[in-house]
Amino acid sequence: MRTAAALALLPLLALTACGSGGAAPAPAGAPTGSGPADDPVAAVRTVDSVASLLPADVRRTGTLRIGSSIGSPPSAYYPNGQDKPPAGQDIDIADAVAKVLGVKLERQGASFETILPALGSGKYDLGTGNFGVTAERLKTVDFVTYINDGQGFAVKTGNTGLTTRITDLVQLCGLTVGTGAGTTFEKTLTAQQGVCAAAGRKPYEIKVFSDPGAVTTALQQGRIDVVMSTINGLRHQAAQPAARTTFLGEYHRLDVGFAFKKDSPLTPAVQAAVNELIRNGTYAAILKKWGTSASAIDTSQINPAEHP
């Protein structure tokens, strides 16, 4: 899954997270003080017991190099053009994890399909891009989960050919489907392209785009009939009236996680940091801010099995 969602969406409408409050002392690492109402990450503090899980060399340098695929809200996007810092759910969660660990993130924007191979070469310590946990990826990459997203479909509003939830790819027969390069969507569509021939119907055509914005443009121009992308990304886009898209519902759920090279010593510390954010309420506040609360997980896992 194209973990920064496979579509370029319209600029995110302002969403406000709840501020923390109450008279009881905040647990270690929880937001304290009066950070901005829409910035639940602002007051996150280092938790020494979690930071101690980091390898000695990382504790010494105090930095982690992260490759981030910046595509579209709510996962990660540039709100005011690429000369500005990125924003989004993945950005906030990664920044909050770094604060719990007491390290600085050296973030480098990268195309989705280049990040996983670069982990093995040592270019990045970890990567984000709404990377779905799959059995194939688990052979070469480690994951620490932080949200449950998945695969869905959307059409241009007013499309009379597809109006109901897609539960079987036979429903796509004879249509042109657009998706992102190197994603689980592309793999799923390619692997099951024979379902139409088996049903005695015209195959669907797959059009793959490396530029996220090109998918939306192709849909609006009628060069593709339907888009396959992330559940949260498509749902967010459909909520923007100017986008003129209709979400056709969930097709398949996937856990999404930070990606690491195989057998990385970083995974226990990052997992503990995510679980700290879940425990102290920062995680829920971040998801509320970006409208993705329905994709919350109860606990972070290292390398869970792919959802059937």
Query: Which residue's entry shows tokens 């970006």?
Result: 290
Q: What is the residue-level pLDDT of the chain in tens, covering all 308 positions?
A: 443 333 333 332 222 222 222 222 233 443 333 223 489 999 999 999 999 999 999 999 999 999 999 988 999 999 877 667 999 999 999 999 999 999 999 999 998 889 999 999 999 999 999 999 999 999 999 999 999 999 999 999 998 788 899 999 999 999 999 999 889 999 999 999 999 999 999 999 999 998 777 898 999 999 999 999 999 999 999 998 888 999 999 999 999 999 999 999 999 999 999 999 999 999 999 999 999 999 999 999 999 999 88
Q: What pLDDT score was predicted for residue 82?
A: 67
Q: What pLDDT score was predicted for residue 216?
A: 87
Q: What pLDDT score was predicted for residue 32?
A: 35
Q: What pLDDT score was predicted for residue 71?
A: 84
Looking at the domain that runs over 48-149+254-295, which CATH code has it been given? 3.40.190.10
Q: What pLDDT score was predicted for residue 17?
A: 25
State the CB neighbour count (10 A cutoff) for residue 33.
9
Q: Which regions of the chain carry the CATH code 3.40.190.10?
A: 48-149+254-295, 150-252
Q: What pLDDT score was predicted for residue 65?
A: 98
Q: What pLDDT score was predicted for residue 210?
A: 83
CATH architecture observed for domain 150-252: 3-Layer(aba) Sandwich (3.40)
pTM here is 0.83
Q: What pLDDT score was predicted for residue 18?
A: 26
What SS3 string covers the chain? CECCCCCCCCCCCCCCCCCCCCCCCCCCCCCCCCCCCCCCCCCCCCCHHHHCCCCHHHHHHCEEEEEECCCCCCCCECECECCCCCECHHHHHHHHHHHHHCCEEEEEECCHHHHHHHHHHCCCCEEECCEECCCCHHHCEEEEEEEEEEEEEEEECCCCCCCCCCCCHHHHCCCEEEEECCCHHHHHHHHCCCHHHHCCCCCCEEEEECCHHHHHHHHHCCCCCEEEEEHHHHHHHHCCHHHCEEEEEEEEEEEEEEEEECCCCCHHHHHHHHHHHHHHCHHHHHHHHHCCHHHCCCCCCECCCCCC
Amino acid identity at 69: S
